[in-house]
Amino acid sequence: MVLLVQAGGNAAFRAALERYGLEVVSVNSASEALDQVAQRVPDLAILEVPNAEKLCRALRGMGSNLVVVISSDHSDECQSAAHAMLSACADTYLPGSVSADELLSCVKTLLPRHLLPELICGDLVLHLYSRTLYKRGMPIRLNPKLTRLLQVLMERAGEVVLRRELMQQVWNTDYTGDTRTLDVHIRWLRRAIEDDPARPTYIQTVRGRGYRLVIPRESAP
């Protein structure tokens, strides 16, 4: 969850974050922000309010790990002073002239990969909330288990993910006596994303161990 604290700020910020698929809770004051964090600690707090330093330190004390401060004063002199004052508290300081796209780019950089609503590997783009995979721009709808299975493989692209790990993370079980369910889902996933499922290039089997997602060289950015 992203906590957006704005005193009559730019409505485009929230719209851009939500369009990207992030859950956004928006409040208008420091007191509302503290009340919200007391109920649920955000993954990221974005502050665009006067006296942001005090609020930033309070949020840190309540467990907020990532804080972005946007200047609420657009003058160069005030922004320079605020930058120096907040650098020891905030993870990133942005000028008041920042655009919604620039803020979103900053958020993508700061948030851990597993918290982002989309994963990108080569020409594969997985939208987690809509459970839609885009391959070379073409949408492919996936069911919840296939989405989770592909998510785990994409988060560890290039690594061998053991069968045991896949069973734990996708089916929430440590039982590996029968992994036919896993094999069937891998086969379904290959049908969805491979050009030729019989000769897979994305999802490789590592015999006796598990599976690995590999991005073909021609598909890499």
Domain that holds residue 20: 2-115
CB atoms within 10 A of CB 155: 16
88 and 122 housed in the same domain: no
Q: What is the pTM of this model?
A: 0.64
What percent of the chain has a predicted confidence (pLDDT) above 90? 56
Between 178 and 95, the higher pLDDT residue: 95
22 and 50 housed in the same domain: yes
CA–CA dist 95, 204 (Å, integer): 46
* List of residues 6+ apart from 96 with CB closer than 8 A: 48, 70, 71, 72, 73, 74, 79
Last residue of a domain, one of 115, 137, 166: 115
CA–CA dist 204, 61 (Å, integer): 45
Residues 144-155: tens digit of each pLDDT: 999 999 999 999
124 and 64 housed in the same domain: no
Q: Could you report how far apart the first and last alpha carbons of the chain are, in Å?
A: 29
CB atoms within 10 A of CB 217: 8
98 and 186 housed in the same domain: no
Give, as one character, the DSSP assignment of residue 162.
E
Q: How many domains does the chain have?
A: 2
What does the CA dihedral 41, 94, 10, 101 come to, rounded to 10 degrees? -100
130 and 208 housed in the same domain: yes
Residues 89-139: tens digit of each pLDDT: 888 888 888 899 999 999 988 988 778 888 889 899 999 888 899 998 899
What does the CA dihedral 187, 189, 190, 192 come to, rounded to 10 degrees? 130
pLDDT at residue 74, rounded to an integer: 54
11 and 77 housed in the same domain: yes
pLDDT band at 188 (very low <50, low <70, confident <90, very high): very high
Question: How much is the mean pLDDT over the chain?
Answer: 87
Q: Is the pLDDT of residue 82 over 60?
A: no
16 and 111 housed in the same domain: yes
CA–CA dist 127, 81 (Å, integer): 40
Residues 20-55: tens digit of each pLDDT: 888 899 999 999 999 999 999 999 999 998 888 889
